[in-house]
Amino acid sequence: MKKIVVLRFICVLLISAFSCVLVAQDSLSSQDEDYYKQFQDLENGELRSFFFFNTPNRYNQNSPYDWLDTVKVYLNSSEKTKDSTSIRNYQLIQAQIYYDLGNYEKSLAISRSVYDDMDTLDKDVQKTILELMDGNYAMLQLYDKQIEIRRVKRELGINENVAYYDIYASLGQYRKAMRDYMTEEKKELKDDDYYGQAIYNNTIGDYLRLDKSTPTALSYFKKAEGLIKVFLSDVTNQRTDKEIADGRVLNGIIIGNIGKCHVQLNEYEKAIPFLEESRDIIKKYNKSKFSSDLIENTLALAECYLKLDNYEKATDYLSNDLNPIKTDNILKRNRIYADYYYKTG
């Protein structure tokens, strides 16, 4: 079995050059797609909800605010006709758009209002609501509420994203998070699941990076980078647009993590190309969505240029529409500003 996997891996590498051309063509085509118009052309709230939640990079041509305005019109119409199914669908879309914008309080308020009717909803809708609430509680650092939502998931038989290792990491218990993650996830991974393997190695690397075990973290990130490149260049398997988009964003996150490791090692010049490439990828394939990874990479770039005494570049990144939400990122931005003012007198 292992021999077959190795042979398949080699085959994938041999055809990667050809597949890169196809990926580039696919990228151009997805960027040209007018998802906003396609969404409007659909007939009802159920179809629009399905399209919205299954469309990657949906804000490629129109901003989330355009989508919000349109969804509000549909929601008002549904309320006038008392179409409860459409009302719920449009509320969920609204909640997701606010989440994408980083307005977690607003997103949570809407999703909680739908949550009150959980007993009347089908399992897919329940899962969507719970995932939204889980994500919002995480970003708002309301971990007791997040744990409560995961208990509800278990009770409903939803088995995805129910472990607590990410919550342990958010509380600074990186080693415990890593041990639990390895126990939970390793047994489920298959050798030829390159995307899953990339996520696994990137997550372990991130826990190690946060725990300041930087050289070991770097080795995990480099392994993850190799795996996601194989995933993206693998033309032997059919991939959905969402899978490809998720793979590209993950690639950008991994590259950024490599850059952040070089920052921790005081290798500032080496870190800059990784951080800049990561920012470009995330901005391209996660367009108009709030991204903590994008914020962290931008702050890391500002730190690099400040350490290299390039004050102009440092302040460019600090003032580049930077709107950190996480407390750690706000503190880091203020610390970099303080260092800048100290250095410049």
The domain of 46 spans: 35-162
pLDDT at 153: 93
Give the separation between CA 282 and CA 285, rounded to whole angstroms.
Answer: 5
Q: What is the CATH number of the domain that holds 68?
A: 1.25.40
Cβ within 8 Å of residue 58, ≥6 positions away: 35, 36, 39, 52, 67
What single letter denotes the amino acid at residue 66? Answer: D
- pLDDT of the residue at 124: 87
Q: What is the DSSP letter of 55?
A: -
Quote the pLDDT of residue 161.
84
Q: Is 40 domain-assigned?
A: yes
79's CB contacts (< 8 A; 6+ apart) are 87
pLDDT at residue number 137: 96
Where the chain has pLDDT below 70, the residues are: 1-32
Return the pLDDT at 296: 95
CA dist., res. 90 & res. 268, Å (int): 46
What is the secondary structure of 181-244 as a DSSP string? HHHHHGGG--TT-HHHHHHHHHHHHHHHHHTT-HHHHHHHHHHHHHHHHHHHH--SS---HHHH
Residue 48 lies in a domain: yes
Q: Could you tell me if 163 and 184 are in contact, meaning their C-beta atoms sit under 8 angstroms apart?
A: yes
CA 201, chain centre distance (Å): 16
Domain presence at residue 244:
no
Is residue 233 assigned to a domain? Answer: no
Report CA 334 to chain centroid distance, whole Å.
25
Q: 285 in a domain, yes or no?
A: no
Residue 319 covered by a domain: no
User: For residue 154, what is the enclosing H or E element?
Assistant: helix 143-155
Q: What is the torsional sign of CA 141, 55, 185, 204? A: negative
- What's the structural domain count of the chain? 1
**Is 232 a member of any domain?**
no
pTM: 0.84
Is residue 281 included in any domain, yes or no? no
- Give the C-alpha distances (Å, rounded to integers) separating 223 from 9, 56, 214, 235: 14, 26, 14, 21
Q: Which amino acid appears at position 204 of this protein?
A: I
Torsion of CA 108, 114, 118, 122, to 10 degrees: -110
Res 31: pLDDT? 59
Rg value, the chain, Cα: 21
